[in-house]
A and B are shown apart, each in its own frame.
Chain A
């Protein structure tokens, strides 16, 4: 790979962010404190939002920050507080057979990496001009309310059911 061919700034950005994300993700699944794990998850999710920006998906990035970093994380913290009075390190967050996960995850990673590298090689995703226009929101809305209206309907139905289900489940009676 010749450096001049690449978009240096974006690649450096990508490298830093993905490093942060991977570290964060590993911490999420290894730390022994639920609240800390939630905070590490914030880093991963924000990093994902930054990656979306690199992929010129502005709208999705903003939604990611609003929904995930805003709402979902608050939900997680609530869940933690409502189910565990104690906020601090816990000894037994892992189950007894936790080591089973390592070979399974590594096997999957091996297969997927091989397939990805084999399939895409050194294909350029974004060409050298580097001028990627962010995708206009209008296009996305046309897509949602045009050809993909049916999944949208199904989705709104799922959300409705989820709201009702959450209320029914969590209600005290």
Chain B
């Protein structure tokens, strides 16, 4: 370095250092800020327990995609689950994404043995179980009810009603068929 060189003196070097420090700081803060204010201040670290939890719920997803989403939403399992269930899917992380986590693979979940309770099954038929005797009487007088359609409603009560309708019709249709078969020549 030559002291007589006018373009490279100490003050200008200092200025350059200070400016580049602020530019770099702004640059890295922007990356950090776009992930929505993570509570944990450390860069790419993802909690392996959270990743495991989601991977076990949705085994079809790649752990890399899960880690990317978790990292971006600040490690919220609920938000990632919500996103998957809403059908939006997960984004594919950029190739530069290097998750800092070692997945412990193949550790078995807690085994739970169910012991059979020694009670006898109740000897109740499906007609009395679902209170269908009134329906059978009504059906004999009226024409046959139309075939059920698969359906889904936004409303909880409506869904309940549709499920019950499908269930009742499945039993009644089986009963009708069985009765016709019973009337036939060969049983």
A, B co-complexed? no
B residues with CB within 8 A of A = none
